[in-house]
Amino acid sequence: MFFKPFSIFICLLLSNTTIADIRNINKINDAGGTLLTIAIQQGKTLEVKRLLNAHANVNKANTSGNTPIQLAAINGKVEIFKLLLSAGANIHKHRLYRPNTLQYASREGHIEIVRLLIATGEYLEYGNAIATASANKHFSIVKLLLTVNGNSSLSSIVSSVANKNDVKLLKLLLARKVYMSLVERAYRSTPLFDAAESGHTEIVRLLLTGGAEVDIANTFGEEPGGGRTPLYIAAEKGHIAIVKLLLAANANINMSLEMGKSPLDNVVSKKGNSQVIALLLKAKIKQGFIANELSELISIATSVKNHALFKKLKHYQKRCKKC
């Protein structure tokens, strides 16, 4: 069978490559990739260039779902990355729930590739890339991405920062005056709630400093556990330092969205941390009980056999004429 000289030339230069491989240049082989993806992973720039000239599919992924340009980003192959861009590689293509090209480059710390992506002028989703770079301690990339990104999309990553206890990145976001109270869609909670639940004291302090709204409750529909405030969940989890911070920020100690219980009612009924109970009770006494609140709390203390609290409440009841 007759082959053009150029095809034969390609065949001879590529190691372990047969004529059949050239005829099926985009076929996935036993190694799980195309000739192009394998050449990229091996860092063979010349072979990549020749394969592209031979019309290899610049966007065909390997069996792991990684496209050629993603592989170049992962492996930090700058010259290969440039060749793929010039050949029209799609920088946005990626599998659902998998990182995109910018995230891969940010995760691996390849700042030159990040710069090349920015230079394309195409729309890039910076939020997750910033969080990924920070989680892997690539702060030069974090700062670079922050300089080119508008604040509008940064609020969406504050929840991720709060969950990962990423203090350094949160400080950078605070410096940008990013909105700190965006409700995360999937769980319908704020970063402050997430940090309060996880016990990330420094994150809570920073969020409050940055203007996070202290009383926004999570609102997970009718699911069990829905409608809890940051104070409610911090008290339930026994995070004493966080309870102190929230009370100092004037958190509403009367909000009772879950099962009609206030944070104090809840922690008493669940035999929670005694120091948390003392903090909440002190705040409640300072504010004052209304209607049947004190009687109901005494009833809860009795039912859970919290004798020390029962005595304290009864003593207060005798002194309190309005109770």
List the CATH code of the domain at 102-176. 1.25.40
List the CATH code of the domain at 1-98. 1.25.40.20
Give me the mean pLDDT over the 243-260 stretch.
84
d(CA 193, CA 252): 14
- Phi, psi of 169, rounded to the nearest 5 degrees: -70, -40
**Domain layout of the chain by residue ranges:** 1-98, 102-176, 180-289
Residue 146 amino acid letter: L
What's the mean per-residue pLDDT of the chain? 84
Contacts 24+ apart (CB under 8 A), 218-227: 218/187, 218/188, 218/189, 218/190, 218/193, 219/183, 219/188, 220/187, 220/188, 220/189, 221/188, 225/258, 226/257, 226/258, 227/257, 227/258
**Fold match between domain 102-176 and domain 180-289:** yes
HEC string of 8-20? HHHHHHCCCCCHH
Look at phi and psi of residue 48 and say left if phi exceeds 0, alpha if psi is from -120 to 50, else beta.
alpha
pLDDT on residue 12: 43
Domain 180-289: which CATH class?
mainly alpha
**pLDDT tens by residue, 56-95:** 999 999 999 999 999 999 999 999 999 999 999 999 988 8
pLDDT on residue 114: 97
d(CA 59, CA 61): 6
Place of tokens 């995109």: 100
> In Å, what is the CA distance from 208 to each residue of 171, 215, 247, 303?
12, 11, 11, 36
| Token duo for residue 148 | 């080119």
| Token duo for residue 100 | 């995109």
| Token duo for residue 139 | 């702060």
Work out whether the CA dihedral 224, 229, 235, 238 comes out positive or negative.
positive
Confidence of residue 305 (pLDDT cuts 50, 70, 90): confident
Cβ pair 146, 116 in contact under 8 A: no
- Phi, psi of 261, rounded to the nearest 5 degrees: -100, 140
Reported pTM: 0.69
**pLDDT tens by residue, 169-209:** 889 888 887 777 766 655 578 899 999 999 999 999 999 99
Direct distance between the N- and C-terminal alpha carbons of the chain, in angstroms, rounded to an integer:
101
- Over 90: is that where the pLDDT of 38 sits? yes
Cβ pair 71, 37 in contact under 8 A: yes
